């Protein structure tokens, strides 16, 4: 659907998700079929926070669709340094591009920015809020490895500040999925997120734990996140939980042979490199899946013939 915005995974219905994932699978199988579809189309990149995978995969996706990108560059080299507001920045860059991708450190920034532009705006992460395009590539990876029905998933690590977690948890309520959340008490899911999940899904399918061991044998997927040092207002609080959850081959002795381990990356020390060579590891495939999924999403939002993502 033309000129919609993707701000949060809450606006994604099961049908929306399946449309994007199915289109991504088609593109993954035959990228040449869409190679020139968006010639003369420009995607504007506005990243107010560091990014490797999200930024480069969006750029790759747009170029593989036949288009190109215009990049705001670093905050330090932009007019933001002179005091320009986010509203003014997106209105200016809207004049240069056919769609915008925004990452910003403040929760709610993408929603606010979307109110000032008429071209599609995609939220690439807003502080500890949401990261819906990451969620779509996560769901694509889960579907490819374990399916999305009768699934038991453990989500472990920084659940308080982890925007990838918040987005994924909401999207999974569209499917027959049992969700287990594993974290230190200080990094549990925000209570408002827990409340929303209970409203969206039968509460018996959502469980919180401090220990992985008790539920590891039952998991089909383990989604690991790093403890995000940059989100902590107090360094001492970060040090109390840094390195508390780590996965190595000893940890996985009790796991199913079919367990899929995912991570949005970057990792620090939460997954040992020895896991990379096992059949459990799916996190590098997960990162690679960002390209076909974002190609599919751009195709749908810029006017693909199968419809697109609805705005709330």
Out of 103, 160, 163, 280, which one is annotated catalytic? Answer: 103
Q: Would you call 130 a catalytic residue per the annotation?
A: no
Out of 54, 89, 173, 260, which one is annotated catalytic? Answer: 54
Out of 53, 63, 91, 207, which one is annotated catalytic? Answer: 53
Q: Would you call 249 a catalytic residue per the annotation?
A: no
Out of 130, 131, 166, 280, which one is annotated catalytic? Answer: 131
Please write down the long-range contacts of 267-276, taking CB distance under 8 Å and 24 or more positions apart: 267/224, 267/226, 268/226, 268/227, 269/243, 270/157, 270/224, 270/225, 270/226, 270/227, 270/243, 270/245, 270/246, 271/224, 271/246, 271/247, 272/246, 272/247, 272/248, 274/248, 274/249, 275/247, 275/248, 275/249
Q: Would you call 53 a catalytic residue per the annotation?
A: yes
Active site residues: 53-54, 82, 103, 131
């Amino acid at each position: 659907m033309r000129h919609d915005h993707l701000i949060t995974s809450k606006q994604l219905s099961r049908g929306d998700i399946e449309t994007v994932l199915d289109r991504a699978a088609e593109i993954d199988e035959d990228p040449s079929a869409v190679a020139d579809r968006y010639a003369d189309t420009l995607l504007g990149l506005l990243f107010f926070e560091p990014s490797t995978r999200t930024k480069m995969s969006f750029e790759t996706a747009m170029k593989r669709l036949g288009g190109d990108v215009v990049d705001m560059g670093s905050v330090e080299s932009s007019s933001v340094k002179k005091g320009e507001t986010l509203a003014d920045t997106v209105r200016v860059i809207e004049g240069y591009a056919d769609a915008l991708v925004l990452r910003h450190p403040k929760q709610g920034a993408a929603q606010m920015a979307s109110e000032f532009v008429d071209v599609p705006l995609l939220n690439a992460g807003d502080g500890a809020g949401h990261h819906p395009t990451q969620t779509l590539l996560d769901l694509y990876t889960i579907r490819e490895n374990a399916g999305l029905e009768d699934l038991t998933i453990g989500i472990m690590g920084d659940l308080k500040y982890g925007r990838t977690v918040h987005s994924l948890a909401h999207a999974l309520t569209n499917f027959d999925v049992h969700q287990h959340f594993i974290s230190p008490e200080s990094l549990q899911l925000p209570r408002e997120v827990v409340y929303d999940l209970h409203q969206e899904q039968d509460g018996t399918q959502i469980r919180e734990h401090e220990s992985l061991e008790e539920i590891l044998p039952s998991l089909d997927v383990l989604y690991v996140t790093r403890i995000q040092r940059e989100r902590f207002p107090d360094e001492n609080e970060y040090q109390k939980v840094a390195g508390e959850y780590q996965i190595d081959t000893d940890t996985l002795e009790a796991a199913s042979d079919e367990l899929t381990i995912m991570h949005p990356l970057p990792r620090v020390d939460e997954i040992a490199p020895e896991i990379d060579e096992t059949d459990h590891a799916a996190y590098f495939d997960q990162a690679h899946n960002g390209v076909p999924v974002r190609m599919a999403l751009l195709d749908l939002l810029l006017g693909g013939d199968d419809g697109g993502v609805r705005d709330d």
